[in-house]
């Protein structure tokens, strides 16, 4: 199991056990949680990536978009960052961390 899938499985199992425990028991709970966790991943769920260092910010592909720890949205362009609706350019160290990656384009192959 992947870490993300394990986390979804644990959440699903606790919900099923707590809310449906009288209807489902034993291995049925495990099978239901297992099926549900795969279905959630197949539907496209992915846990947002958290950036906690300037080095991680600098490693993101060009045109990545992040939400800073203060809630501002930033986009990278030509090695600098700019805040949405602003023309002022910043370096990665200006972004409040931790930041959540909202978009990271695939790197060129």
Is the model more confident about 98 or about 24? Answer: 98
Number of domains present in the structure of the chain: 2
The two structure tokens encoding residue 53: 């260092």
Both 36 and 58 in a single domain? Answer: no
- pLDDT for position 9: 81
Q: What are phi and psi of 43, to 5 degrees?
A: -75, -5
- pLDDT for position 109: 37
The two structure tokens encoding residue 22: 């009288």
Both 33 and 76 in a single domain? Answer: no
Task: Report the C-alpha gap between 17 and 29 in whole angstroms.
Answer: 7
Q: What is the pLDDT of residues 54-96, one digit of tens each?
A: 999 999 999 999 999 999 999 999 889 999 888 899 999 999 9
Domain range for 19: 3-42
Task: Report the C-alpha gap between 61 and 52 in whole angstroms.
Answer: 16
Instruction: Provide the pLDDT confidence category of residue 19 given band limits of 50, 70 and 90.
Output: low
pTM over 0.85: no
Both 71 and 97 in a single domain? Answer: yes
Question: Does residue 108 lie in a domain region?
Answer: no
């Amino acid at each position: 199991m992947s870490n993300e899938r394990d986390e979804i499985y644990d959440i699903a199992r606790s919900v099923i056990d707590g809310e449906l425990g009288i209807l489902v028991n034993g291995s049925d709970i495990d099978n239901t949680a297992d099926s549900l966790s795969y279905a959630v991943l197949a539907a496209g769920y992915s846990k947002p990536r958290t950036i906690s260092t300037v080095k991680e910010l600098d490693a993101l592909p060009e045109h990545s978009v992040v939400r800073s720890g203060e809630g501002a949205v930033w986009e990278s362009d030509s090695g600098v960052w700019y805040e949405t609706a602003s023309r002022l350019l910043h370096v990665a160290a200006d972004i409040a961390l931790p930041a959540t990656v909202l978009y990271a384009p695939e790197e060129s192959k």
